[in-house]
């Protein structure tokens, strides 16, 4: 299990050979075009319009009345059970979104946001299978020292990327 701020060609090669990775993407440089993934993942600033559609403006800024952000609590348990995400998530609100996901088949997305009538849906947590491994991307701003939600989110993301599941709160795990 590898946690990194950037997907390098060497890391993509390790994933293809069976490694699992979590990319904590903070900007476009986190996923360079030469990474060699089967999916075209692009880290895009949330405050900028979608590529090729400048007239839409910054639609993912979460200041639209009809914006909705969500988390799949089965895939990332242990987080406050709020959809849409509320003030409990203020310390992890992403500055970027992930572009490139196909319009159908969202089973590989564990968190996303959309505006209007489910327009311009973009992942915030997306797992891409690559060879014998997989890489999970997130644009959530995870700083464990910022409080319990960032700490729980980082734990859930690591477990998700490693292929496991986080036990429900209060459950007993074998030691």
Average pLDDT of the chain to the nearest whole number: 82
Band the pLDDT of 45: cuts 50, 70, 90: confident
Band the pLDDT of 175: cuts 50, 70, 90: very low
pLDDT of residue 166: 44
pTM for the whole structure: 0.84
CATH of 2-161, one of 1.10.3470, 3.30.70, 3.30.1050, 3.40.50: 3.40.50
- Which helix (H) or strand (E) segment holds residue 160: the answer is helix 148-161
pLDDT of residue 130: 92
Taking CA atoms, 90 is separated from 8, 126, 149, 150, in Å, by 29, 20, 9, 9
Band the pLDDT of 121: cuts 50, 70, 90: confident
Band the pLDDT of 60: cuts 50, 70, 90: low
CA distance 50 to 57: 8
Torsion sign, CA atoms 82, 84, 86, 91? positive
* Total number of residues shown for the chain: 175
| pLDDT higher than 60, residue 65 | no
Residue range 107-128: average pLDDT?
Answer: 84
């Amino acid at each position: 299990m590898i946690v990194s701020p950037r997907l390098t060609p060497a890391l993509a090669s390790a994933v293809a050979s069976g490694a699992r990775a979590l990319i904590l993407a903070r900007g476009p440089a986190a996923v360079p075009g030469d990474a060699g993934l089967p999916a075209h993942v692009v880290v895009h600033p949330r405050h900028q319009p979608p590529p090729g559609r400048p007239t839409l403006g910054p639609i993912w800024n979460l200041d639209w009345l009809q914006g909705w952000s969500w988390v799949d609590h089965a895939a990332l348990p242990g987080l406050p059970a709020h959809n849409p995400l509320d003030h409990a998530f203020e310390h992890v609100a992403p500055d970027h979104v992930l572009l490139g996901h196909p319009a159908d088949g969202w089973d590989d997305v564990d968190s996303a946001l959309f505006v209007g009538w489910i327009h311009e849906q973009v992942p915030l947590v997306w797992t891409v299978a690559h060879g014998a491994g997989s890489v999970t991307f997130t644009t959530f701003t995870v700083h464990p020292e910022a409080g319990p939600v960032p700490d729980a989110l980082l734990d859930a993301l690591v477990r998700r990327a490693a292929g496991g599941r986080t036990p429900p709160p209060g459950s007993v795990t074998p030691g």
